[in-house]
Amino acid sequence: MDHFFSPTLDELQRLTQRVVDETIAPRAAEVDEQGLWPAHSMAALGEAGLLGLQAPRSLGGHGQGLLALGALTEIIGRACPSSALCYGMHCVGTAVLAAKATPYQTETYLKPIAQGRHITTLALSERGSGVHFYLPATALHDEGGALRVRGTKQFITNGGHADSYVVSTVTAQGSETVGGDFSCVVLDARTEGLEWDEPWRGFGMRGNSSRALRIDARVPGQNLLGSQGDQAWYLFEVVTPYFLMAMAGTYLGIAGAAFEEAAGHVRGRRYAHNGESLADVETIQTRLAAMWIAVEKTRAMVREAGARGDAANPDALPYILACKADAGDTAVSVANDAMTLCGGMAYRDNSRIAQFLRDARASHVMSPTTDLLQLWTGRALLGLPLL
Ligand SMILES: Cc1cc2nc3c(=O)[nH]c(=O)nc-3n(C[C@H](O)[C@H](O)[C@H](O)COP(=O)(O)OP(=O)(O)OC[C@H]3O[C@@H](n4cnc5c(N)ncnc54)[C@H](O)[C@@H]3O)c2cc1C
């Protein structure tokens, strides 16, 4: 038992592990090979009540925070990183919905999420602003109480499969967007005026269905989350910490699984000509130790970030910013070293290690990217504004 975890969180982890063992792990290779969106994973997590991790307890959810999100995505990420990414983005979307939910939004979105019947996700990224996800150009027009949303999002995890999409927008008048006034709107999947681009074919995270969406839709005013212009609050209090913990957990899961795969191979591999085991080679012993140290250091930082964030510790910010960058670097380097230790068996087409290495590389591309996070961590440590 990890000293960070409450008995409730221990129980949630055991439940998640059971879902992983019974449903998610057996189909992980298929998800990667076929670029299959893991409907089975999301359904099983829903049946176990885990889609409501961030939904309020009063609705039957778990009301959990950052530590739990990092811990559960780690468990799923060890088996199937695409499933962890899909689940993580659902949880981030749920946290955004829950942050300032009206009675209508509670009834329409949070209640079915808590009951395991609704998948949501986050649509922030756009071609025009790239890694600067906090600068959307998708326009929000007030049409006498109703809202007109116009724009194109890219790389939406769970794209085409979620039941709702939390979309970032900027207030517009006429054809002009009015700088800076950013708001989030929730769009139902069946809203008229949503047009999906081609299916996702990624280098890694092949099951996450990260697709582009053209939006020209009119939705009721009750779909606005919070008040118009709640930008800074949503971005830095909800989206960023929850997103970073979901991703840190996922990449930590990859790093841990790649280490175990390598350790297992080293223990079992023995040469026919002299009976020597790879485990007897000093260079390999040293390399394995370095991989283990990297994983454990990263795990400690991810746990610390989650615990401090949940406790609203005044020094939490640099931990939260740094832990996703660190977990991404650890996942890439440990998966890379695992490929070296496992030799040709790992380099063959679509080995588990090859999949881990491809999946881990998404960490350096997904915003906030590693470079941006290191910059923001430095600014946070110096007491400077992040942007
Ligand atoms: C698998 C996957 C899943 C995703 N899921 C989602 C999702 O669910 N929702 C969502 O909204 N988005 C999602 N994204 C989008 C993602 O978060 C990024 O916003 C997107 O990948 C940016 O891509 P780009 O090619 O436009 O980057 P660009 O802006 O063109 O940047 C390219 C590279 O330049 C570098 N760079 C750019 N600016 C700076 C800077 N100031 N300092 C240092 N380096 C810099 C970075 O290394 C970056 O990787 C996903 C992306 C991937 C790959």
| pLDDT score of 263 more than 70 | yes
Which of 110-114, 268-272, 274-278 is the most confident on average? 110-114
What are the pLDDT digits (tens) for 64-79? 999 999 999 999 999 9
- Atom in ligand 1 nearest the alpha carbon of residue 375: 42
> Is residue 124 lining ligand 1, measured as CB closer than 6 Å?
yes
Residue 183 and residue 151 in contact, taking contact as beta carbons nearer than 8 Å: no
Bridge partner list, 295: none
DSSP element (H, E) containing 343? helix 316-347
Structural domains in the chain? 7-118 (1.10.540.10), 121-229 (2.40.110.10), 232-381 (1.20.140.10)
| Tens digits of residue pLDDT in 318-350 | 999 999 999 999 999 999 999 999 999 999 988
Pocket of ligand 1 contains residue 366 by CB under 6 Å: yes
pLDDT of residue 175: 63
For residues 165, 71, 73 and 356, what is the CA-based torsion angle, rounded to 10 degrees?
A: 150
Assess contact for 170 and 182: CB atoms under 8 A.
yes
pLDDT confidence band for 4 (50 / 70 / 90): confident
- Facing residues of 122 across strands? 166
Q: What is the pLDDT of residues 99-131, one digit of tens each?
A: 999 999 999 999 999 999 999 999 999 999 999
pLDDT at 201 over 80: yes
pTM equals 0.96
Cβ(362) to ligand 1 under 6 A? yes
* 8 Å CB contact between 196 and 213: yes
Residue environment code for 230-254, b if the CB has 16+ CB neighbours within 10 A, otherwise e: bbeebbeebbbbbbbbbbbbbbbbb
Q: Which atom of ligand 1 is nearest to the CA of 123?
A: 11
The pLDDT of 267-276, averaged and rounded, is: 93
Q: In whole numbers, what is the pLDDT of the chain averaged over residues?
A: 95
Beta carbons within 8 Å of 369's beta carbon, 6+ residues apart: 131
